[in-house]
Chain A
Amino acid sequence: MAAFKGIRRLLRIRSTPRSILREVDDEVRFHLQMRIEDLMRQGHSPDDARAGATREFGDLSAARSELASIDRRTARKGEWREWVASLGQDLRFSFRGLRARPAFTVTVLLTLALGIGANAAIFSVVNSVLLRPLPFARPDRLVHLWETYESKVDSRSEASYPDYVDWRARTKTFSDMAGYQGSGFIFGGSQPLTVRGARVTANFFDVLGVRPIVGRTFAVGEDAPGAARVVLLSYGFWQRQFGGDRNISGRSVTLDGGPVTIIGVLPKDFVFGGRAAGAELWAPIDRSAQTREVRGNHWLNVVARLRAGAGIQAARADMSSVMRALAVEFPRSNSGRDGQVVALHDELVGSVRPILILLYGAVVVVLLVACVNVANLLLIRGADRQREIAVRVALGAGRGRLVRQLLTESLLLSVCGGVLGLIVAQAGVRSIVGLVPARQALTIPGLMAAGLDTTVVTYALLTSLVAGLGFGIVPAFRSTKSALHDALKNAGRGSIGGASRLRDILVIGELALTVILMSGALLFGRSLLRLLSINPGFRSEQIVTTTVVLPGSQYSSDALTVAFFQRFAERIRELPGVESVGFTSKLPLDFGNSMGFRIVGQPEPSPENTPTASYRLVTPEYFRTLGIPLVKGRGIGGGDVARAPAVVVVNRAFVAAYMGAQDPVGQLLTSRNDTVHVVGVVGDVPIGNLEDKIPPTLYLSFAQTSENAMAMAIRTRLDAAQMAPALRRTLASMEPNAALTPVTTMDDLLGQSPSVFMRRFPLFLVGAFAITALLLAIVGVYGVVSYSVAQRMREMGIRTALGAPPRSLMVLVMRHGGAMAAVGIVVGVTAALGLGTFAEKLLFGVRANDPLTYLTVAAVLAAVAVGATLIPARRATRVDPATALRTD
């Protein structure tokens, strides 16, 4: 009975709106006729019978349309049910088919899991860093403001406080602006911690539109000199240090050696990054009058919110006109200075955007290679299934039905691959984020939050579907087309020509894509080598470093600070394993401040041409400890103390920029009201980025101008972990309120510096992608060549029988791989050259069209492609003519 119904359903002709209405009419007509006959049999006249039957029936035309509309619904439901049923059938069939070929299925699933997983992992970073809006109100309306100027050191700077005040008062395109400055704090009383933080103007969180989750943000006037000291906590710091206590507001804690009141906690998703990287404590800006009143003192980073209706162009014009007016009013400090307006999102993530886009491009290429490989496997499998497909055609399956069956199989594969890919992505995101040194990671808002959320999972599944359609559609049509042509007629062989050419084209595409990735990886690799081979001008090996921070409230005078660091240096020098120790306000590679000065005896320059130089404070042993060579004169000496005449040591870049042919030693420089003697010249050491031009630099004597936070460089054979406990112990015994930043080595700092990271990060990832693509390409070449050898067994047999030496058969097969590689290389190199200009800015010391790179890639790829044909080539020579000719 059930089987009977099944056949009935199978044979039922599709209902159309017309046929439905006709059937309703037929049914009603039959009813009326029967009733009329019954009534006439009971003795009614034909007219009476007709009238009676119609009356009993009710409204005929209403019934007609009502019944038809019910039937239309029924038909639609039936079609849907049948569609679902046949989909279930297709799925079951696909599943059985895939289980029957485990090697094929596992290969495809692993390929797809890698391709989709890597893709989703990079996408989650792209999404979190580039696509997701910053965690502020209307973040697209926020901008970052800078001052720009021409100098030998830098071309843009922070604002001075008086400039900021004038910007706020005079500009018309901003609804408000606020200032901030990254800062370190010493938190807690005994055994204090160094904590990253920032100092901000009182309106900072109002401008960003950030509301605290506990307590309040700063009130107007809390950044004024003399106001009570208050601090805001980040969510993470609140959780770690206070266990998320909601009654935290009003509690007094020790910060930088003095009491301060906690007023609130910032939301969990709040991060700023950039110059306030990793900030966990937020306090009002420095209150000392000196930092606020001097217009030449540039230290305040400024964020602003555009007024409704004002665009960034209008803001730029507005800033420029205000800066021009200030230059006229304050020529000594402001001439030659202009303003710069940058969208806040660009300011914070602009530096990593090209890298992320490049990585996303690379990972899309990997997915393409993966899809091409799967498409090839499906084509080969389709060719093997010709007979099965032909049988189904013979049994009456339409082409559309067959295509759908094959596509269902592709989609089943791709969705399963996508789900496995999510596991790969989960591991991938962690390792990608882990590759970023903490110092860099904290500057990029959103990076640490990257992970698998609903957006990424949706993306991965959509990618799977698109990939499934992409790699499935051509094989599906191709397999069924030849099946229709050759149904049951020698089905195994008929289709070789067209399908094998398509397979070759796919492999060529795969090889070309691999060339692009390999070239990229090699270019980054060579950039990194060039970068690491730069002589940094000092000996970075065997240097342990950390920064000592003294509580400002206790060490308020230069004398106290200098005395402390001198005693501390003596104690460190006595520690076992220490050769020498030097202090500096900024280590090499740290950006620092710069100052303007005049050279006594040279004509007074116009205000905008005032010479500037980067400067740092050092102790006498600093140059010797870092191995910075003395070129001329003397270094900073033990006698260069507060009472003695002020001295300065300059670098070679300084001499080249400002001294001309004069002997620098003995020259006098004046800056503000101080005069310093140039006593010596040392070698150049990078400031900021390793690859940047080294700016003129001044080294001042620490004993003559002290600071509370000093970096320490220790030359020792011990490593950072061995050195750290002794350093902490010594510091705690001398000053329990002082803090140490994490102890590290100079080599690690070099390795984690942005310049190295910006090459090493893409090198690792693009390199990994290139290797993946290369492996996939090997599988692709191997698969296609061995399949073609299997198809040509008979031909090989005949050749052997006719006396062809095995060698010539091998050449025949290997030439197939070689030809595909040759075309793939030409296409790939052409494409890579075209794309290279995009990556040019990320490279260092090597051009994007570097011939050696492309030659290397071409050689490797050709060797690998031909190598992949070795096994099938050997197989071709072992064909026994008799067996080959006997197989059907």
Chain B
Amino acid sequence: MPTDLDLLQGTLDTLVLKTLSWGPRHGYAVARWIKATSDGTILVEDRALYVSLHRLEERGWVESQWGLSENNRKAKYYELTTAGRRHLVQKAADFTTYATAVFKILQTA
């Protein structure tokens, strides 16, 4: 039974950046990867995902470029910029600290 997680915008941004950290991908690949990796735990509307991608581009953390997909279709590829990579490292560290703290509190109860 998948949990209905209300993802905060910042968290989604971080997940998207993480998805792009292994190389350029198009939006559909990002959606598929998040769905698969979280074993279906995290359910996001595709619309929110694209808003996240475009806003990351506006902030200069990712760059986009049109290219050909694996089945030879025109697709928009997103790629992390140097600033984006730096941001991801920072966010990931923050999130880990936060999650560890929350987990610790829940364990002691």
Contact = CB atoms under 8 A, between A and B. Distances in A.
Contacts of B46: 31, 35, 56-58
Contact of B48 (A5, A58, A70): A58
B47 A58 contact: yes
A30 B28 contact: yes
A16 to B, nearest CB: 16
Contacts of B94: none
A479 to B, nearest CB: 37
Contacts of A8: 65
A62 interface: yes
B78 to A, nearest CB: 10
Interface stretch (A21-29, A328-336, A468-476): A21-29
A829 B66 CA distance: 70
Interface stretch (B2-10, B49-57, B99-107): B49-57
Nearest to B70: A34
B26 interface: yes
A70 B26 CA distance: 18
Interface string A61-87: 011001100110110010000000000
B interface secondary structure, majority: helix
Contact of B47 (A5, A26, A57, A74): A57
A59 interface: yes
Given A35-B28, A58-B45, A58-B48, A30 B58 contact: no
B80 to A, nearest CB: 12
Interface in A75-118: 77
Contacts, number: 62
B45 A57 contact: yes
Contact of A23 (B26, B55, B73, B76): B76
Nearest to B32: A38
Contacts of B42: none
B28 A67 contact: no
A632 to B, nearest CB: 100
A30 B47 contact: no
Interface string B62-81: 01011001000111100000
A195 B83 CA distance: 71
Looking at B45, B63, B69, which has the most chain A CB atoms within 10 Å of its CB? B45
Nearest to A69: B54
Task: Tell which of A8, A34, A67 has the most Cβ of chain B within 10 Å.
Answer: A34
A544 to B, nearest CB: 80
Contacts of B69: 30, 34
A70 B51 contact: yes
A60 B46 CA distance: 10
Interface string A132-159: 0000000000000000000000000000
A670 to B, nearest CB: 98
Interface in A11-62: 23, 26-28, 30-31, 33-35, 38, 56-60, 62
B15 interface: no
B74 A30 contact: yes
Contacts of A38: 32
B76 A26 contact: yes
A60 B26 CA distance: 18
Contacts of A58: 45-48
B28 A34 contact: yes
Interface in B32-48: 32, 45-48
B51 A63 contact: yes
Chain A binding site: helix, strand, loop or mixed by DSSP?
Answer: helix
B31 interface: yes
A852 to B, nearest CB: 73
Contact of A31 (B31, B55, B58): B31
A67 to B, nearest CB: 5
Contacts of A34: 28, 69
A69 to B, nearest CB: 9
Contact of A77 (B48, B58, B66, B73): B58
Nearest to B30: A31
A727 B45 CA distance: 102
Interface string A758-802: 000000000000000000000000000000000000000000000
A74 B45 contact: no
Nearest to B55: A70
A5 B58 CA distance: 17
Contacts of B24: none
A30 B45 contact: no
A34 B27 CA distance: 11
A63 B55 CA distance: 13
A62 B51 CA distance: 11
A5 to B, nearest CB: 8
Contact of A59 (B47, B55, B74, B76): B47
B69 to A, nearest CB: 7
Given A30-B76, A31-B31, A56 B50 contact: no
Given A58-B45, A58-B46, A67-B50, A74 B58 contact: yes
A67 B31 contact: no
A27 B45 contact: no
A74 B57 contact: yes
Nearest to B63: A5
A71 B28 contact: no
Given A27-B27, A67-B50, A71-B54, A56 B73 contact: no
A70 B31 CA distance: 20
Contact of B73 (A5, A30, A59, A70): A30
Nearest to A30: B75
Nearest to B47: A58
A38 B31 CA distance: 13
A72 to B, nearest CB: 10
Contacts of B51: 63, 66-67, 70
A57 B31 CA distance: 10
A525 B69 CA distance: 87
Given A30-B28, A31-B31, A73-B58, A63 B50 contact: yes
A27 B47 contact: no
Contacts of B75: 27, 30
A248 to B, nearest CB: 63
A67 B73 contact: no
A26 B50 contact: no
Nearest to B45: A58
Given A27-B27, A58-B46, 8 more contacts: A8-B65, A30-B75, A31-B28, A34-B28, A38-B32, A56-B45, A60-B47, A74-B58
Nearest 5 interchain pairs by C-beta? A58-B47, A58-B45, A63-B47, A70-B54, A57-B46
22 contacts: A27-B75, A30-B27, A30-B73, A30-B74, A31-B31, A31-B46, A38-B32, A56-B46, A57-B47, A58-B45, A58-B47, A60-B47, A63-B51, A66-B51, A67-B50, A67-B54, A70-B51, A70-B54, A70-B55, A71-B54, A71-B58, A74-B58
Interface of B: 26-28, 31-32, 45-48, 50-51, 54-55, 57-58, 63, 65-66, 69, 73-76
Interface of A: 5, 8, 23, 26-28, 30-31, 33-35, 38, 56-60, 62-63, 66-67, 70-71, 73-74, 77
